[in-house]
């Protein structure tokens, strides 16, 4: 039973910050305020970040503290995600700072370490291997003020923790330093296997599980087998025709090499139409199509992100690695393409979740290449399938799965569309 104190604290925090939380957001906040470890799996676009955005203020009310005294530390997997969230939160009046390798302002670092910033965003590498930030958690200010440890995009603990980024696997060590601090793990995608790995590695106990199916009915699913030239030409034809009115499009590639190949093909196919107005110098100032990878310097990433999220953005197509994927707040992306399959269904659902966050009809298209040895069996089945509903194949292994409620099969996937008998298709 939720105590009256936690409910009052939540209501007061909502009023202070001008927020009105959805049902599952409230459940998660109340559980954390009750001191519980919480595993939260909510679809892309639902608003997972609001949960930890409101926590410092809610704890201030719950514990009777002056505003700004409660501290939430959020571990985030990508610098690009932290940059975007910091910009978004600050625009809404939230006191937040990023620290780690991307933070060069010593004044900001000093304020954070002194416990004067209620919401702190940091990468797993910085919190586990940098003595300055690891020691920060042991300081008297943090022992008194810290109220929650958040792990955003928690599925990365399973996806990346074994080999690619071992610091994700080391996050559980923080529990020994913070034995009484509740842990909130949030993600958009979680199979039962992911839940088991995440809760074990974070040493979570008596976990409260909160979630919804990751299935997004407004995204039409399809798979195609085409050459690079044909794939790019299909998009380039629309760009030439519509230029700055071309629907916002993301093209995910598995490697830097593939990203450059796809981008170079766009340059070849579009010629002078790669800029707007056509024929202007091929510089970022005029470019309709851009390239986003970890190889970009941080300032370039900021410029691309800040432009692309604008409703009237000049950039209409971004070719990207997964560096662009998680948590980016751009609601009006209409098309997500994958040039090659991700390793797993979880990765694919994460990445297609960039589409249609404004609830408008959107499209997720996998350009499938047979014979890739780096994808798991479920992803291979999804790509090679020719007779089963793609939506069912994609989402049936996830926690909280429910079958789609779409009335017309033609809105589901390319397989179901073949047999649709709705009024539009007959």
CA separation for the pair 293, 283 (Å, rounded): 17
Return all residues near 154 (Cβ < 8 A) that are at least 6 apart: 39, 185, 186, 187, 190, 198, 202
Return the pLDDT at 324: 72
Identify the bridge partners of residue 364 per DSSP, sorted by sequence position.
Answer: 221, 336
Residues for the chain: how many in total?
426
Question: What are 305's two structure tokens?
Answer: 């992100």
Token pair 């009024």 in the structure block, residue: 423
Q: What is the pLDDT of residue 258?
A: 93
Tens of pLDDT, residue by residue over 192-212, are 999 999 999 999 999 999 999
For 23, the token pair is 């049902």
Alpha helices in 18-76 (DSSP H): 23-33, 48-63
pTM of the model: 0.84
- Provide the pLDDT for residue 163: 60
Catalogue all structural domains in the chain, each as residue range(s) with its CATH number.
4-211 (3.40.50.300), 219-417 (3.40.50.300)
Q: Which residue has the tokens 């910085």?
A: 126
Q: In which band, very low, low, confident or very high, does the pLDDT at 370 lie, cut at 50, 70 and 90?
A: confident
- State the chain's mean pLDDT as an integer: 89
Per-position DSSP letters for 343-358, written without gaps between them: SSHHHHHHHHTTTTTT
Model confidence at 372, pLDDT cuts 50, 70, 90, reads: low
Q: What are phi and psi of 47, to 5 degrees?
A: 105, 50
pLDDT of 251-292, one tens digit each?
A: 999 889 999 999 999 999 999 999 999 999 999 999 999 998
Nearest to 65 by CA among 2, 145, 10, 5: 145
Q: How far apart are CA 393 and CA 353, in angstroms?
A: 16
Q: What is the mean pLDDT of residues 120-148?
A: 90
Q: Which pLDDT score, from 0 to 100, does residue 1 have?
A: 41
What pLDDT score was predicted for residue 243?
93
Top-confidence residue, 408 or 349? 349
Three-state DSSP class for residue 224: strand
Q: Provide φ and ψ at 319, rounded to 5°.
A: -95, 125
- Binning pLDDT at 50, 70 and 90, where does residue 238 land? very high
- Find how far residue 232's CA is from the centre of its chain: 26
Asked if residues 80 and 129 have their Cβ atoms less than 8 Å apart, the reply is no
Q: Is the pLDDT of residue 158 over 90?
A: no
First to last CA, the chain: 53
Residue 390: φ, ψ to 5°: -65, -35
For residues 332 and 356, is the Cβ–Cβ distance under 8 A?
no
Helix segments in 120-191, DSSP class H: 124-129, 131-138, 140-145, 156-159, 174-177
C-alpha span between 333 and 307 (Å, rounded):
13
pLDDT tens-place string over residues 18-52: 999 999 999 999 999 999 999 999 988 889 999 99
């Amino acid at each position: 039973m939720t105590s009256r104190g936690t409910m009052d604290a939540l209501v007061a925090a909502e009023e202070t910050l001008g927020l009105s939380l959805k049902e599952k957001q409230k459940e998660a906040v109340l559980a954390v305020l009750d001191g519980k470890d919480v595993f939260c799996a909510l679809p892309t676009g639902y608003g997972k970040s609001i949960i930890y955005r409101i926590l410092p203020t809610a704890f201030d009310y719950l514990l009777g503290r002056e505003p700004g005294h409660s501290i939430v530390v959020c571990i985030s997997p990508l610098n690009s995600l932290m940059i975007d969230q910091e910009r978004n939160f600050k625009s809404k009046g939230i006191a937040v700072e990023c620290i780690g390798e991307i933070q060069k302002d010593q004044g900001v670092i000093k304020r954070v370490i002194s416990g004067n910033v209620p919401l702190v965003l940091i990468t797993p590498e910085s919190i586990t291997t940098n003595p300055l930030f690891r020691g920060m958690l042991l300081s008297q200010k943090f022992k008194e003020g810290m109220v929650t440890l958040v792990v955003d995009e928690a599925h990365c603990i399973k996806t990346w923790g074994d080999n690619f980024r071992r610091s994700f696997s080391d996050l559980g060590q923080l529990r020994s330093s913070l034995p009484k601090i509740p842990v909130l793990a949030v993600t958009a995608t979680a199979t039962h296997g992911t839940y088991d790995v995440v809760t074990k590695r974070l040493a979570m106990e008596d976990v409260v599980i909160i979630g919804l199916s990751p299935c997004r009915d407004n995204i039409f699913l399809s798979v195609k087998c085409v050459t690079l030239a044909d794939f790019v030409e299909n998009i380039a034809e629309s760009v030439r025709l519509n230029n700055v009115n071309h629907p916002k499009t993301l093209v995910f590639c598995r490697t830097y090499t593939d990203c450059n190949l796809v981008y170079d093909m766009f340059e070849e196919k579009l010629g002078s139409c790669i800029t707007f107005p056509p024929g202007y110098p091929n510089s970022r100032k005029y470019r309709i199509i851009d390239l986003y990878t970890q190889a970009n310097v941080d300032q370039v990433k900021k410029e691309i992100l800040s432009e692309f999220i604008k409703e009237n953005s000049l950039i209409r197509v971004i070719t990207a690695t997964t560096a662009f994927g998680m948590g980016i707040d751009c609601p009006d992306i209409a098309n997500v393409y994958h040039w090659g399959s991700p390793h797993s269904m979880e990765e694919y659902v994460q990445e297609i979740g960039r589409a249609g966050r404004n609830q408008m009809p959107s499209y997720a298209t996998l350009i499938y290449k047979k014979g890739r040895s780096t994808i798991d069996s479920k992803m291979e089945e999804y790509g090679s399938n020719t007779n089963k509903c793609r939506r069912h194949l994609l989402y049936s292994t996830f926690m909280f799965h429910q079958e789609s409620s779409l009335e017309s099969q033609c809105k589901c996937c390319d397989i179901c569309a073949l047999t649709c008998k709705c009024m539009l298709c007959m």
